[in-house]
Structure 1
Amino acid sequence: MPTAETALAGRDTPVTVPARHEVLTTSMTEWPDTAEVLYVAMGCFWGAERIFWKIPGVITTAAGYAGGFTRNPSYEQTCTGNTGHTEAVLVVY
């Protein structure tokens, strides 16, 4: 596990969040006031995110990273295991 001192250097450019979910076509930035937010880390985020698409009441989801030391890590950087991040899924329901 990398430390803050040994983690890969980050990027100045943050990950861009699209206005709408590519599959669900739901808003990625505006949710009802009554919405709840859950973050889960279940290994590969692509498979985990897909599970939540099928659950009634889920408004939107997003794959991303949690924890870590590298600023704005890329997918390739995270896959090295040297950023300290874990793959995670945001679930809005």
Structure 2
Amino acid sequence: MRRILSQFYAQTYPNKELIIFNTDKENPYELAIQDPAVIIINNDIDYLTGNPYENRGQICRDAVTHATGDYFMLADDDDIYLPWHLEQAVDGIEANGKDA
């Protein structure tokens, strides 16, 4: 969790939020700091079916419902993001006139 937060705060793109979607009900996540840009969701039940999640696609579909921005990027807990990753991604999308 520390590495994920560190990489998030190091991002040069200013308008960002981090949604951590934890499906391990035996080990709920808690955040020591209060930051409205960081949202932790501890949930192992699919919003649509009411059953435990069966795949990553179901988890991502539910996680995106908590996002408030124009862009959404999926990441896994073992991914590494350099500080300019979000900024370059958004710049590339907007420079090419693509919709989110």
Q: Do both share a fold (TM > 0.5)? A: no
TM-score, normalising length: structure 2 = 0.23
Structure with greater proportional strand content: 1
Higher relative contact order (CA 8 A, sep 6+): 1
**TM score, norm. by length of structure 1:** 0.24
